Amino acid sequence: MHLEIITPEKKIFEGEVHIATFPGADGSFQILNDHAPLVSLLKEGDVVYKSKEATSQIKITGGVVEVMKNKVILLADGIAV
């Protein structure tokens, strides 16, 4: 599936992944290929995504994620340091 991670300042990541974990407002959840359409509010926490090459992790300050037809778009409020 295709994942895009975007902040107001810049695009953080764009590429193919096979699993992504998000810090949902009601708890952590994972997205896999062919997931049902979804829009969810995110709280501060770690976003973990795995591609064929590596596992990556970033900490966001909150945001919204949309899943539709194997395309996942994360609009993050910001990246925590």
Segment 2-31 mean pLDDT: 96
Domain boundaries, the chain: 2-76
Give 2's pLDDT tier (boundaries 50, 70, 90).
very high
| Joined tokens for residue 18 | 């096979």
Q: What is the pLDDT of residues 65-81, one digit of tens each?
A: 999 999 999 999 999 87
Write down the pLDDT at residue 81: 74
The model's pTM = 0.93
Q: What is the chain written as a DSSP string?
A: -EEEEE-SS-EEEEEE-SEEEEEETTEEEEEETTPPPEEEEE-SEEEEEE-SS-EEEEEES-EEEEEETTEEEEEES-B--
- Residues 19-75 pLDDT 10s: 999 999 999 999 999 999 999 999 999 999 999 889 999 999 999 999 999 999 999
May I ask the CATH architecture of the domain 2-76? Answer: Sandwich (2.60)
Taking the C-alpha atoms of residue 74 and residue 29, their distance in angstroms, rounded to an integer, is 14
